[in-house]
Structure 1
Amino acid sequence: MRRSNARTLPVDFQPKMDSVKLQFRSNAHRSNFFSRISSLSMKQAKGNLWIYFVVAISVAVFCYIFVIARGSGNSPVSKRKFGIVIDGGSTGTRIHVFEFVINELGLPVFDFGKDGLATMRLNPGLSSFSGDPEGAGRSLLELVEFGKRGVPKDYWGETEIRLMATAGLRRLDMGVQEQILESCRRVLRSSDFKFRDDWASVITGMRF
């Protein structure tokens, strides 16, 4: 599988006695100053996107570890396992494909090297399908195919796939939420991966 700072701008504050001079600096100087500010803002925006990406993966990993750890106490030690989490965010839907083993304590040990984690994101988010719930399910088809490319076919039947919807979907009426989730469940049931209906849900607080 493949894995598909902002700096503080130094400002030279002049003493109060020079405040009048600051008011008469040339327009060119002001343009240069604001150009630097704009450049800094772009760097901050890029940094924020990267932070969001890292946080999204971390949350998905944490949720999956929590779920697997609760249910793996009686699992035999295995040389290789896979898991899939679909993170239904407000602006996009991201799939995370994990590779891990169950150690002698019955706990999952994840491999986050280049061959142990693969991620793909598609826009828009599931909540954007409030007027077309069936479209939400169709939007997962490409993500499911990505998951199949990341998991050897012999492992599909034992690889759990879970949908954890957050943020945007929580803001919709319960009836619309359920229609969207049911549309997604139909796709996941036929995905060839291991799936149960309660594995597709809207996450609230710490209820995994």
Structure 2
Amino acid sequence: MSAQRVMKEKNLWHKSGIVIVAVIAVVAVVALVVVLVVQNMPLPQKYKYGIVLDAGSSHTTVFIYEWPAEKDNNTGRAEQKHSCNVKGPGISSYAGTPWKAGQALRECMREAEKNIPEKRHAQTPLYLGATAGMRLLDLQNRSASDEVFRAVSETLQTFPFSYQGARILSGQEEGAFGWVTVNYLDDRLKQGLKTTGALDLGGASTQISFVSKMFDGSESPGNSVTFRLYGNDYNLYTHSFLCYGKDQALKMALAHQTQSGPPAIKDPCFHPEYVETKEYSKLYDSPCVSDRKPQGAPAFFQHTGIGNFQQCQDVVRSLFNFSQCKYSQCSLNGVYQPPLQGAFGAFSAYYYIMDFFNLTDTSIHLDTVKEKIARFCATPWQRVKQQNPGIKLKYLVGYCFAGTYLLTLLTDGYNFTSETYSNIKFIHKIKGSDAGWTLGYMLNLTNMIPAEAPNEPPLPYAGYVAVVMVIVILLVVLFLFIAHAIRPSCSKRPRVV
């Protein structure tokens, strides 16, 4: 075979090899692109769900929470998907007709069925937590309380969810879970940041919860709750004042002014020109005031407003006992409270009251806040109704007292000053979820907040990629160096002639 023919065949094979390598390279590139595109395509998210009913003293709200189903409990973030306010009063108001307490829940529970995928219904835990309204009913009439719970349980069990029962939360639980919710939604627990205190004001009770360096639980163990969350220990001070929610406080204020059973009172916490005839029996129907009912009082009394903020504050202060404190320091009624520390989130009625006055911005000086509420209280009732046509009268009539009570509770009761008042943030929602105890309650019952911090790889993802790239580059450089070192030695071999 001639040398020329051999060279042609070698060139043909050489060209064929190049073509084959080129085709393989193109296929490899296409395969790489396809893998990258497919791998990084957005996948439909799968979620798990939980339902919590907040059965408060004045109303019930159904909350639906969702979190990523494919993530472990220590990485999936629970957020509020939907909420529904149950029509009518709180379940404790149905003591005489308990079956109505269950029926009232049906409309909102049907909404829950629609908002949760059907295939997830059976796996969705359903909880009902009752707060101060049911605490009071339980104190007043245990059998009526049991009947109300039986009625709501029978109704909730007719829905296709995993019903976990109904129970009364203690005041300590309500305060502690509110604190968990606020700090969980603000990502303070997972990141180990300074925590935010929680101020909760309902219709029948109020709670204060915060972490203080001055509090180790030894002086008042009953106000101490210890959490270990994401590897961090928290010693929480929390206290709940039963009967000191805004609605029951109003009853106590009226009871204070009617102790002698007069046929008429002039109330500084209601607007001038406000006049209503009220029944003594309805005023004193709560355990918070029932033992103070005056003997021999008439059936009715005339309730007239005079609208005086300073005098209203005096009435509110009469509800607080500051005369004795067996501890190093107290808030009100002889209850121990350590020094206030850090920022506070104030929610529930705190927010709604201050939002009505357009005073949720705490950069407004406390004196200015007081002046605005004082002007409102002094405004004649007819003008107040004209200026607020969209608000139901049963709510509108209570804002003078509610605003005065809120400020007096914060300053005289909890010891906030003109300087520390600005540390309060009035909040309704945090990142789309309502502030309140319900989310913290569900997180606790579903064990979604681990005691220990989740395990993490030794290197973060960016560091891992950087290390791999450095090692690959180093190997390529070493390969080229070895190839270069071998090639000259091969070229220096003696030729055979």
TM-score normalized by the length of structure 1 = 0.55
Query: How many residues get paired?
Result: 126
Mapped to 2, the partners of 1:159 and 1:98 lie a distance apart of 10
Note if 1:142 corresponds to 2:107: yes
Question: Secondary structure of 1:163's match?
Answer: strand
Counterpart of 1:194 in structure 2 is 162
Q: CA deviation at 1:177?
A: 1.1
Q: Which runs of 5+ in 2 are unaligned?
A: 1-44, 175-440, 442-497
Structure 1 residues 108 and 151 mapped into 2: Cα distance closer, same or farther (>3 Å)?
Answer: farther
Q: Are residues 1:168 and 2:136 paired?
A: no
Residue 100 of structure 1 contacts residue 108 of structure 1 at CA under 8 Å; is this kept in 2? no
Instruction: Please give the secondary structure, in 2, of the residue aligned with 1:128.
Output: helix
1:120 and 2:84 are equivalent in the alignment: yes
Alignment of 1:171-186 (within 5 A): 171-172=136-137, 173-186=141-154
Gaps of 5+ in 1: 1-77
The reply on whether 1:101 has 2:68 as its aligned counterpart is: yes
Q: CA deviation at 1:104?
A: 5.1
In the TM superposition, residue 189 of structure 1 has moved relative to its aligned partner by 1.1
- Following superposition, the deviation at residue 110 of structure 1 comes to 3.2
Residues 1:135 and 1:108: Cα distance change in structure 2 (over 3 Å): farther
Which digits, 9 at most, give the CA deviation of each residue in 1:26-71, with x for residues without a partner?
Answer: xxxxxxxxxxxxxxxxxxxxxxxxxxxxxxxxxxxxxxxxxxxxxx
Distance 1:164 1:91 in 2: 14
Out of 80, 83, 99, the residue aligned to residue 47 of structure 2 is 80
For residues 110 and 167 of structure 1, the distance between their equivalents in structure 2, rounded to whole angstroms, comes to 29
How far apart are 1:106 and its partner, in Å? 2.8
> Could you tell me how far 1:175 is from its partner in structure 2?
1.4
Matching residue of 2:169: 203
Map of 1:92 onto structure 2:
59
Give the secondary structure class of the aligned counterpart of 1:124: coil
Q: Determine the C-alpha separation between the residues in 1 that align with 2:71 and 2:120.
A: 21
- Say what the alpha-carbon RMSD is for the aligned residues: 2.1
Deviation at 1:188, TM superposition (A): 1.1
- Quick one: which amino acid aligns to residue 59 of structure 2? G
Bigger relative contact order, structure 1 or 2, given CA contacts below 8 A and separation 6+?
A: 1
Q: How has the CA–CA distance of structure 1 residues 83 and 132 changed in structure 2, closer, same or farther, with 3 Å as cutoff?
A: same
Q: CA deviation at 1:102?
A: 5.3
User: Structure 2 length normalisation: TM-score?
Assistant: 0.24
More deviation in 102-111 or 132-141?
Answer: 102-111
Cα distance in 2 for partners of 1:163, 1:201 equals: 7
Give the whole-Å Cα distance in 2 for the aligned partners of 1:105 and 1:99: 14
Give the structure 2 partner of residue 156 of structure 1. Answer: 121
Give the secondary structure class of the aligned counterpart of 1:110: coil
Q: In the alignment, does 2:98 pair up with 1:133?
A: yes
Structure of larger gyration radius: 2
Query: Offset at 1:103?
Result: 6.7
